[in-house]
Amino acid sequence: MTAELRSDLDAIPAYVPGRSVPGAIKLASNESPGGPLPGVVEAITAAAAGVSRYPDNAAVALTSVIAEKIGVPAANVVAGCGSVALCQQLVQITCAAGDEVVFSWRSFEAYPVVTRVAGATPVPVPNTAEHGHDLDAMAAAIGERTRLVFVCTPNNPTGTTISATEIGKFLDKVPERVLVVVDEAYVEYGDADDPDRVDGISLAMERPNVITLRTFSKAYALAGVRVGYAVGNSAAIVALRKVSIPFSVNAAAQAAAIAALGAADVMRERAAVVVAERERVTGLLREAGYAVPSSRGNFVWLPLGEDTAAFTADAADNGLLVRGYGTDGVRVTIGHADENDALIAFARTRAAARAV
């Protein structure tokens, strides 16, 4: 007889990572195409010499550097094992069994997973026809049992964003007892010159019920070592530390993130290249007949509906790994120019064949 496990685990969907196949062009996981930033490999190598010792559980050096870079007190910052781990910790610090977590759908695939793992109830709110958050509907979905709201901007997987004006009006409708999490995993690929862009750090410091998440996995090219951070009021930060797995941000991750922050200028240069490629790919896909919404991430969204699975499978047969989402659409990561060219060639050929 085996030990008795939680009966609700069977109903929890497993998080599905992007596929990796040797020899294929992988455009499925929103990874940075440029490899580690300068100084990162050296920092990881140096940290490896001390792996017989535990890492700093509070990641003091890393949180201090982050705090200095973003201009907030260190007491308002906590590091985590990627921002996805912090998502689960946020559910843990706010929700008991039966409490509710509101989020747009489709949005980050982990939101319903981490909600159910913590014993809470997910409340998905359909995206707008323009593939963005329906903030009015999300506000209306907040009830007595709502404890947490995830707002992902730029939204993964659709790439759409929310303006500062829009999120300000939304936050004014949210009860102060409800924690709003602004997930900015792709913030470095947005339009820094937009006067109405969301500034998640400022929101988190101005509003006690806002926490902002950022990650080193995307623009900082550290997906393989798992490190992200949360910014918000000090009470929530203390609570996040209480529910974190001890030593979950390992020594190599801490060293790598500090080194990556030191190479922020190079990161921005690389991000600009990705943005230019994203705009090129968007234009060419639209010319080929695909209704691609404007994206502010390092990916584009193809709302293919019932053709999603077939497109994903056909792409794989042609050596291209993209990410299909049920019957909603396909997310394609922006890679190197030649990889993007291969994707465009496939998409054009497939569109032409289906038009015959």
Give per-residue pLDDT as tens, 54-94. Answer: 999 999 999 999 999 999 999 999 999 999 999 999 999 99
Give per-residue pLDDT as tens, 261-318. Answer: 999 999 999 999 999 999 999 999 999 999 999 999 999 999 999 999 999 999 999 9
Of the candidates 183, 185, 170, 217, the residue with the CA atom closest to the CA atom of residue 90: 183
Q: State residue 1's pLDDT score.
A: 65
Give per-residue pLDDT as tens, 95-147. Answer: 999 999 999 999 999 999 999 999 999 999 999 999 999 999 999 999 999 99
Across the chain, mean pLDDT equals 96
Spatial distance between the Cα atoms of 249 and 306, rounded to a whole number of angstroms: 40
Q: State residue 168's pLDDT score.
A: 98
Q: Radius of gyration of the chain from Cα atoms? A: 20
Token readout for 181 is 């999490």
Q: State residue 5's pLDDT score.
A: 80
**What's the angle, vertex CA 81, arms to CA 3 and CA 103, rounded to 5?**
85
pTM, full prediction: 0.95
Of the candidates 25, 23, 41, the residue with the CA atom closest to the CA atom of residue 33: 25
Give per-residue pLDDT as tens, 227-259. Answer: 999 999 999 999 999 999 999 999 999 999 999
For residue 6, name the pLDDT band (cuts at 50, 70, 90). Answer: confident
